[in-house]
Amino acid sequence: MNHTMKLTIRRVEGAMIRALGLIERRGFAVTSINASENQPSHELELIIGLRSADRSIDVLARQIEKLFDVCSVSLQQQNEPAIRLEESMAC
């Protein structure tokens, strides 16, 4: 199944690598990445296309939001409205 995940992370060394590494370690294939920078807040907004046959995207989202530099996570399955998870306490 294809999914789209939107992450807002702090623009610090290693933050993007930690998030992408967790995604791949959990068995998801990254199919696309789009990044944009929010200058005033020094945050990056990542829109990541994911594919997995049998993995739960909700579990992945909960694991990613526990990463230190992740400010927010939202999910959107194909043809479904976005689901926003609570903001991380780290940001």
pLDDT tens sequence across 38-87: 888 889 999 999 999 888 999 999 999 999 999 999 998 665 555 555 55
2-78 has CATH 3.30.70.260 classification: yes
Contact 57, 73 (CB under 8 A): no
Burial of residue 2, with CB atoms counted within 10 A of its CB: 0-12 exposed, 13-18 middle, 19 or more buried: middle
Whole-structure pTM value: 0.81
